[in-house]
Amino acid sequence: MITAKWLAGHHELIGVTLGTLFGFLARVFMLRSDYRQYPAYPHGKIIHLALGLIAGALGAVAVPALMSKDYTAITFLSLAAQQFREVRNMERGTLTAIDHQELVPRGATYIEGIAVVFEGRNYLSIATALLVSFAATIFDWIWGVPLGIVCIAIVWRFMKGKTIKDIAEVSFAPVIAENASVSVGTIYMMNVGLEADLALVRKQAIGFLLSPVSDDAKVTLSNLGLRQAILHDLSTRLGVYRDDGEPALMPIAKLDLETGALGVLLLPREQDKQKALKAMRDVPLLESAVRRPTKANKTKGEPAHG
């Protein structure tokens, strides 16, 4: 039977247990399959949950090991970092392999962003376990539980990154398909030679106009990786009215070179415009696509890279 005396005599064991538990729970909260269905259920999730449990255990065990002056324990954390880099490589390889089978590919930038997220979330699990184990071991288990809850709340906040609506005003634009030319508003998109394809564009197409809210946003929207991610996300959520070998029906995004606005042409199966508008606004903003040239230009006399 667990008594107060037993708890007082097993600080380290309780600290490791709580740290492992909260590290694992942090990974559980950060792991979810959304409309993209990645990681796949159930086997893809099992892999990442197992890695989350290992990450939690490594972070939790490090505290009592260091307290007993076993400083070689830090090598376990470095080994974990190496393993989680392999996770990043695994995710990159898997997504790159299946990207060739997508009607609208994700693109290399989107894939790299997903791979980085999987690696980073394992580190957050380690950090959660380390902090909870430290609090429960040094002070008391009663301090470890609320700290674990706070850590999970923080990592939950880390999951919510910026989206397209943070850098651009999203609106619909008319799709004009005449004389073999297709435009979204005033932005020329492509040339379509077959009248049957032009008829499909007139019937199915939806046009978006993304107006950047700042000079930095103009540069970000011009990133080709972000544009491909927009097309893939919209096609995943709304469906895409095309088959392999039909380039005329491929979604496309092009810039208005004068204003920096981005025109997007999509042939979705789901024709609900409110859903389409929400889908566009909720497209995640890729970290590797974000640019801030105005900030760099303000720092006169300083080196470009620190």
Confidence of residue 305 (pLDDT cuts 50, 70, 90): very low
The 10s digit of each residue's pLDDT in 266-275 is 888 888 888 8
266, 195, 232: which is closest to 35 by C-alpha?
A: 232
pLDDT at residue 45 greater than cutoff 80 = no
pLDDT for the residue 258: 85
- Domains of the chain, by residue range, sit at 4-158, 164-295
Mean pLDDT for 276-281 is 89
Average pLDDT over residues 69-88: 74
* Residue that wins the pLDDT comparison between 72 and 117: 117
Per-residue pLDDT at 2:
53
CA gap 17, 14 in Å, rounded = 5
Give yes or no for a contact between 168 and 221, defined as CB atoms under 8 angstroms apart.
yes
The stretch 223-227 carries a mean pLDDT of 89
pLDDT of residue 132: 86
The whole-number average pLDDT for the span 220-244 is 87
Has residue 301 got a pLDDT over 60? Answer: no
User: Above 50 in pLDDT, residue 11?
Assistant: yes
Which residue from 227, 224, 174, 228 is spatially nearest to 201, judged by alpha carbons?
174
In percent, the amount of the chain with pLDDT more than 70 equals 87
**Burial zone of 153 (CB within 10 Å; 0-12 exposed, 13-18 middle, 19+ buried):** exposed
Beta bridge partners of 187: 184
Is pLDDT at 283 greater than 80 in this prediction?
yes
Question: What predicted TM-score, i.e. pTM, was given to this entire model?
Answer: 0.78
Work out the average pLDDT over 7-36: 73
Mean of the pLDDT values across residues 11-38? 75
Task: Report the Cα 285 to chain-centroid distance in Å.
Answer: 8
Average pLDDT in the 47-54 region?
Answer: 82
Given this model, what pLDDT does residue 43 score? 63
Mean pLDDT of the chain: 80
